[in-house]
Structure formats: C-alpha cells, structure tokens
Amino acid sequence: MSSHSDFAPRSRGEKDTRQNYGDRNGNSGVGDTSGIRSRNQNLNARRTYGNAVGNLGARDDDSTTTADTHDHSYHAHRRKIRQRLREKQKIPGHVQWIKWMNSEWKNHAVAMIGEFVGTTFFLFFAFGGTQVANIGSGNTANNTTTGSTTGGVDPSKLLYISLSFGFSLAVNAWIFFRISGGLFNPAVTLALTLTRDLDPLRAVLLLIIQISGACFAAYLVSVIFPSPFNVQTTLGAGTTIAQGVWIEALCTAELVFTIIMLAKEKHRATFIAPVGIGLALFIAELVAVYYTGGSLNPARSFGPAAVAHDFTGSHWIYWVGPFVGSVLAVGFYRLMKILEYEMANPGQDGDEENDPTQNPEHEVAQYVEEREAEVQEIQAIEEEESSAVPMDSLDNVAVAGFRENEDLDLKRKDLTRKPFRVGEESQVQKTGRQEAQHDLEAQWPGSAGLSSSDAGGDAYIGEKRRMRQISGSGAAV
C-alpha cells in the first residue's frame, strides 16, 4: 500500500479545476471545501451590501439566471439611488433661493445695498464739490470746510458748497428713492421711524449702512483728489456750542419737514419731491456752512472725521442737533395731522384720491363725517332738552300764574339754569313763584301777607269758585 507521498503532487490548475468542478456539482464531501467557504462568504457579503443599499430581495439559489437577474436589479437600484441623490442635491438650493427671494430679509438686503450706494454717491459728489471750493485755502485746522476757517467770508465759495450738497441730494434721492427710500441721513431715518413709516429693524440697518457709506465716500475723496482733504465740519469762529446745536437743529427741521410733506404725504407732485428736498438742503447750507459747516446729517460729519482720525470736542453737536431738529419736525407734523390740515385749505393738491374734500373714502374725510354726525346728535339732544319745560319742578302756584299770563316766556333757553342741591329753589321755580305772587296780589290785594303756598292754595280755590259760578249762570240761562 502506497502512502500519500508516493503520488506526484498535483498542479495548481488541476487542483483548482477539480475544486471548481466539485463546487458546481455540489460535491461538498470530495476534494477541498475552501471553494464552498469562499462562495458562501461572497454570498454573505453581497447580501449584506445589498441590504445596505436597499436591496430587500436576497438570492436564494445558485443558478446562473438568478445571479444575472440579481445583478441587473442591483445595478438598476443603484442607478435610482444615485439619481435620487442628485435630485436631493439640486432641490435644496433651488428651494432656498425661492424662500430667500420671498423673504423680508431679501428686501432688507436690497434696501441696504441701495442705501449704501446712494449715500456713497451723494456724499462723494458733495465732498468733491467742497474740495473744489476749498482749493487754495491750504491745510486748515482740523481739515474743516467751515467758512470762517477757509479764508473768511466768500459768498461764491459758500454758494458752490451749498449747490454741491443740494444738487447731489436731489439727483441721488430721485434715483434711489424707489429702492431704499433715498434717505442718506440718520436724522431722516429717525424722523420716518417716529412717524411709523419705517420699520425699526429696517431703520437700524439703514443707519449702519448710511454711516458706512459716508466713511467710504470720504475715503474715496481723500485718496482720489490731489487737493488737501478739507471737508470736515467744525464750529466757526465765535460760534458757541448752544448756537451750533440750534443752527443744526433748525436747519435739519426744515429739511426733515420738507421730506415729510413732499415725500411721505402723498399728493399729485410726489414724483418731483426730490427737487424740493434738494432745494431745502441748498437753502439750509447757505445759512449753516459759515457757522457750523452745514452738516444736518450725522453721517456726513462722522465719515470725514473717521477718515481723518480727528474727532473734535464739538463733534457731538452734529448728532444732537440734527436729531433734535428731526423731533421738532415730527412734532409739528403730528400737530398738523391732529388739527386736520387738509381741511384748512382744501383742494390745493388737485388730487382726487388724496384730497379729503374730493374723496369721501379718504381717512380724514371719514373722520370729519363721523364728527359731524356726533355734533348733530349733540345739538339735537340740546334742542330737545331746551324745548321741554320742567312742569314737575314748578308748584301749583307757578303753573297757575304762567297759564293765566301768556306774556311770560316759558322757554328754558331764556332762563339761566344753575345747578342746585336738594332743598334749594331752582331759578325756574323762583321766577314762577315771584310772578305768581305778583299776579295774586293784583287780583286779591288782601293776600299780600300770605306765604306762597297759602296764597297759592287760596288763589286756586278762588279760581275754582269763579269758574263754577260762570258755569252755573250759563246753565241757568
């Protein structure tokens, strides 16, 4: 008997062939079983991976048809998964864009961008004009544009600066008022917030943007123009702190009230409101440039000071003054609205929609109509009370006296009615008693010493007897 070592070793190909043959025929008891284990491991791995990607159908048999079907369904399912993932990656971005475009934050962002660009343009051209006007004055103290520190009184220079600010505001407000409102001024932002025409959140965002735009405009002017940077605002020679505050406050009040009446209050000429607003800034600059530099705008003063790194001790007045002016303008506007200024001089706008005298649906017209109805109701009640005679408040003597003498006026409007307490005699009772006493004394001279109640009773009894006699004689006849 030969041992296993006597046989020549089989080649690797022969061993694999027999192993594969045995595997295909299910001969688990002949040859090496490593192929079966390997196949089972592969099957388990596929089953596990198929469950991970959502393949619920595991292979139950080892036929070639089943394997091909499984491979086809597996790849098809994988393709569906990849398609879903691609769709999920596309849909969130699209949905987020739609939601953002329909949100209030999108509107805030658009308003902020418009306000930043508008403020930058407005102050860039205003500062640029001021730079040109101050050419030749050299480096002034604090790089200021105040007239008293740039070579004394020069009407042409003051006019040039005023025109630069006024026309720059008119043009840029006309451009940007449909985007952000064209405010360009924290004082104007405060005023419209107080009148509830501007949301507080929007107001805070615009205020930050206005200051940023002012700083950027001042920076552009400082680096672009070769002339010295002379656009800061300081108090002129001889101008006190209090004077500076009130000059800024009154000039700002003029500007803010112009904006409220021409832009906020809708009328037929609202579309050309920027022209009037620019002219309001122009006349305010004519007055204020020489004494305070003509700020009327906290951002206009903050920007150059921040770029020049020079905040003077009087810088605070360019915040307090304009804000005080805004409050004054809003207070006066509120007073005019309470007093219904539209009815004082009606028909001036010529706008049927916004004129309460022509549009009965207007808010003011409805208030006036309701108030007229209340006044008519009050007058009707007063007339009803005045036409009624308080017969119950008079005693029998007063009633008899009034009925006997028709020349007496019983209307209460001719009698002064005074409030009285219980137990006191009213004016009507007093007058009736006196008249009745006078008539009683005239008819019965002997009743002068009687009291009003006794005399009244005797008069009433005598009157009844006289009427009975007259009726009895008539019956006898």
Q: Domain 104-339 classified CATH 3.40.30.10?
A: no
On whether the CB atoms of residues 198 and 191 are closer than 8 A, the answer is no
Distance in angstroms (rounded) separating the CA atoms of residues 295 and 351: 35
Distance in angstroms (rounded) separating the CA atoms of residues 334 and 256: 13
Residues contacting residue 198 through CB under 8 Å, at least 6 positions apart? 181, 189, 192, 206
Q: Which two tokens stand for residue 171?
A: 């043009």
Q: What is the DSSP string of 223-254?
A: HH-SS----B--PPTT--HHHHHHHHHHHHHH
State phi, psi for 144 to the nearest 5 degrees.
Answer: -90, 160
Q: Which two tokens stand for residue 439?
A: 């008539």
Bridge partner list, 372? none
Distance in angstroms (rounded) separating the CA atoms of residues 100 and 461: 98
Residue 201: name the closest of 331, 105, 115, 302 by CA: 105
Domain ranges of the chain: 104-339, 347-387, 391-476
Q: What is the DSSP string of 335-365?
A: HHHHTTGGGTSTTSS--TTT-TTT-TTSHHH
On whether the CB atoms of residues 15 and 32 are closer than 8 A, the answer is yes
* Each residue's pLDDT tens digit, 3-32: 444 444 444 444 444 444 444 444 444 445
DSSP helix/strand/coil, 435: helix
* Amino acid letter, residue 81: I
* Amino acid letter, residue 298: P
DSSP assigned state of 135: T
Q: Is 309 exposed, middle or buried (0-12, 13-18, 19+ CB in 10 A)?
A: exposed
Q: Which two tokens stand for residue 12?
A: 């690797």
Residues contacting residue 433 through CB under 8 Å, at least 6 positions apart? 395, 397, 398, 425, 452
Distance in angstroms (rounded) separating the CA atoms of residues 430 and 394: 9
Residue 432: name the closest of 409, 464, 463 by CA: 409
Q: Per-residue pLDDT for the chain (477 aa), expressed as one digit of tens each?
A: 444 444 444 444 444 444 444 444 444 444 455 556 666 666 665 555 555 444 444 444 455 555 556 666 777 888 888 777 776 665 555 667 777 788 889 999 999 999 999 999 999 999 999 999 988 765 555 556 665 555 567 889 999 999 999 999 999 999 999 999 999 999 999 999 999 999 999 999 999 999 999 999 999 999 999 988 889 999 988 899 999 999 999 999 999 999 999 999 888 888 899 999 999 999 999 999 999 999 999 999 999 999 999 998 899 999 999 999 999 999 999 999 999 888 888 777 767 777 777 777 777 778 888 888 888 888 888 888 777 655 454 455 444 454 444 444 444 444 444 444 444 555 555 666 666 666 655 555 555 544 444 544 555 555 556 665 555 554 443
Distance in angstroms (rounded) separating the CA atoms of residues 163 and 290: 14
Cα-Cα-Cα-Cα torsion 156, 158, 161, 164, nearest 10 degrees, comes to: -60
Residue 277: name the closest of 157, 168, 194 by CA: 168
Q: Which two tokens stand for residue 346?
A: 């009606």
Residues contacting residue 209 through CB under 8 Å, at least 6 positions apart? 112, 115, 116, 119
* Amino acid letter, residue 359: N
On whether the CB atoms of residues 416 and 386 are closer than 8 A, the answer is no
DSSP helix/strand/coil, 232: strand
